[in-house]
Amino acid sequence: MKIKNITGSSKVSAKPKHFASWLQFWEHFAGQTLTRDKYWICPACGESILGSNFDGCHVQKVDSTDQKWYIVPLCDACNHRTDEPNVNVTLVSVADNNK
Ligand SMILES: [Zn+2]
């Protein structure tokens, strides 16, 4: 799945309602936990990254009619990428924030 970061999403999207961070939001709905003191493979760059360096990033699908916003866990560097990486990871819809 090709994705792109939504630029400026930190300005337009406050923290999720029921979670301390968008990463925790993703963990809840994806049913996975990125333990902060363990290393995880970033789904965008493939690097082994410490869990505490992941962010819940706002992304959109590329080449899709689906324009919804999703959260995916990416490393801090990939959170600021402007290209369109391929990721193999669960996308959690930002709309779940209103449940
Ligand atoms: Zn990365």
pLDDT in tens, 23-56: 999 999 999 999 999 999 999 999 999 999 999 9
Distance 56 CA to ligand 1 centre (A): 12
Distance 35 CA to ligand 1 centre (A): 16
- Give the separation between CA 29 and CA 21, rounded to whole angstroms: 13
Indicate the number of domains in the chain.
Answer: 1
Pairing of strands 92-93, 48-50: unpaired
| 43 SS3 class | coil
Using an 8 Å Cβ cutoff, are 73 and 58 in contact? no
> What length is written for the chain?
99
pLDDT of 51-95, one tens digit each?
999 999 999 999 999 999 999 999 999 998 999 999 999 999 998
Pairing of strands 48-50, 3-5: unpaired
Q: Which domain holds residue 21?
A: 3-98
| Model pTM score | 0.91
Distance 16 CA to ligand 1 centre (A): 22
Distance 58 CA to ligand 1 centre (A): 14
Q: How far is CA 35 from the centre of its chain?
A: 15
